């Protein structure tokens, strides 16, 4: 069994996804927000690629429990109920609801992973639980960092490194090069993951937009034990 | 001025290449071998994508000084004069010659970089000189790791990290996320780069093929001060 990490969604070979356990990471903020929403009692999350697709799907579902969430340029989309800040997704707002979400990078990565045997969503906030769930599968694991507009994302690589480090402690995996580098990067920065997130491109952007509290929130390791799993176009809690 | 690092050639935005200083890295072994060939007195190197293209170009050039070099699956191509081991490229063999080369990953990456304002070829063996040459340009720098068959290459990321670390000491660059992670990875492994290369996927493959000495050769930092520069389809020594 082997683990590899991809630092973006472009050019991932199909052989790295098909029949593998795939973990999709978008720490700032899609996979964090989806984890928090499910932890808060949201029934399911439907990731879509565009705001138009989200609005059409809400009309098609004709279910008053549906909420629209997501961002473009890190900000709430006009006409949507919620943005992409995990702090908005409280039990008062999302419990018992269905969420349609579209984000710039995360939802594209989730859709790319669709051929995986199992597809989990990982972030810093649920990284320990995701590692445990992935190790149970006893098959090759591919970790996809969503990246930011076709560039490398520090925060996704850090979370990938945490998960690789945890997986190697749980089970006897062979590490391919991307997994080795992510693990070493995590080991170099593990004393202060929040500092790494704050110096990331996306972290600095959120800080400038007055969303610095989101960066702190997203950098905490293991604050939720929810593992979102994607299948048939829908994300639910595992189990 | 900013620096970014891409861990493979797929999906690099054109804006990261056009009008930038681009450094292409394929430590094992294309950019090491090209550096060594030019240091040994080879007049110029022409990178091509396929063995067929190499053979056609030799016929078209009609120059008895032309040598064919390169690899497929790490081994010399039938009918070629040389493989892809830098240790083959001695002054006795390549001085005064023109080299047509095709490799699995490196030559694709060099061709992808063609839109750059300046395109340098970097490896561990010439990393300090490449950093110095790139810093002189006083423009944004994009470092492209060639990768291995669409996957991450540890050795390229390590060399990229060395160059980023050196560049930040030479000049006031802003680091994008890929550059930060590469630098941190290098800082974590800098006491023994040879060990990092030996644990890489490509390093282990070469070891299995009896080419372990190539891995040692390619891991030595700064043993050559040659900076290969690519333009108009041809690679020459800078200056």
Q: By CA distance, what is A188's nearest residue in B?
A: B188
Residues of chain A above pLDDT 90, percent: 94
- State the residue range of the domain holding A133: 2-223
Q: By CA distance, what is B13's nearest residue in A?
A: A150
Q: By CA distance, what is A148's nearest residue in B?
A: B177
Q: Which pLDDT band, with edges at 50, 70 and 90, does A3 fall under?
A: very high
Within-domain flag for B134: yes
Within-domain flag for A235: no
Give A-chain residues touching B153 at CB under 8 angstroms: 177
Cβ distance of B177 and A150 shorter than 8 Å: no
- Which of B152, B160, B174, B190 best tests the A interface by mutation, with the highest count of A CBs <10 A? B152
Within-domain flag for B213: yes
**pLDDT, average across residues A147-159:** 95
CATH of the domain at A84: 3.90.1560.10
3-class SS at B121? strand
Distance from CA of A14 to the nearest CA of B (A): 11
Check whether A149 has a pLDDT greater than 90.
Answer: no
Q: Closest Cα to residue B182, out of B60, B12, B25, B38? A: B25
Give B-chain residues touching A178 at CB under 8 angstroms: 7, 151-152
Number of domains chain B is built from: 1
- For chain A, say whether B204 makes contact (Cβ under 8 Å): no
Write down the pLDDT at residue A183: 97
Within-domain flag for B115: yes
3-class SS at B90? coil
Q: How far apart are CA A178 and CA B197, in angstroms?
A: 13
Write down the pLDDT at residue A137: 87
Q: Closest Cα to residue A200, out of B175, B23, B19? A: B175
Q: Which pLDDT band, with edges at 50, 70 and 90, does A138 fall under?
A: confident
Write down the pLDDT at residue B138: 85
In tens digits, chain B (239 residues) has pLDDT values of: 999 999 999 999 999 999 999 999 999 999 999 999 999 999 999 999 999 999 999 999 999 999 999 999 999 999 999 999 999 999 999 999 999 999 999 999 999 999 999 999 999 999 999 999 999 988 999 999 999 989 999 999 999 999 999 999 987 899 999 999 999 999 999 999 999 999 999 999 999 999 999 999 999 999 999 999 999 999 999 86
Within-domain flag for A214: yes
Check whether A86 has a pLDDT greater than 80.
Answer: yes
Within-domain flag for B239: no
* B52: CB partners within 8 A, 6+ apart: none
Within-domain flag for A199: yes
Distances (CA, A) of A180 to A173, A175, A213, B138, B211: 11, 6, 31, 33, 22
Within-domain flag for A68: yes
């Amino acid at each position: 069994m082997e683990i590899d990490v991809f630092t973006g969604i472009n050019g991932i070979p199909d052989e790295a996804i098909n029949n593998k356990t795939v973990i999709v990471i978008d720490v700032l903020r899609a996979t964090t927000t989806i984890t928090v929403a499910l932890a808060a009692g949201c029934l399911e999350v439907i990731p879509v690629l565009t705001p138009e697709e989200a609005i059409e799907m809400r009309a098609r579902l004709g279910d008053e429990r549906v909420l629209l969430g997501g961002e473009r340029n890190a900000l709430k989309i006009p006409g949507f109920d919620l943005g992409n800040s995990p702090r908005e997704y409280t039990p008062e707002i999302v419990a018992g609801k269905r969420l349609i979400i579209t984000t710039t990078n995360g939802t594209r990565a989730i859709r790319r992973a669709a051929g995986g045997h199992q597809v989990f969503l990982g972030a810093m906030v649920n990284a320990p639980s995701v590692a445990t769930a992935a190790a149970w599968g006893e098959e090759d694991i591919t970790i996809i960092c969503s990246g930011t507009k076709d560039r490398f994302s520090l925060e996704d690589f850090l979370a990938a490194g945490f998960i690789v480090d945890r997986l190697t402690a749980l089970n006897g995996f062979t590490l391919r090069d991307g997994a080795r580098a992510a693990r070493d990067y995590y080991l170099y920065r593990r004393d202060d993951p929040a500092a790494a997130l704050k110096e990331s491109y996306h972290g600095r952007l959120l800080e400038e937009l007055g969303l610095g509290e989101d960066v702190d929130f997203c950098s905490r390791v293991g604050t939720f034990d929810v593992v979102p799993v994607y299948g048939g176009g829908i994300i639910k809690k595992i189990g």
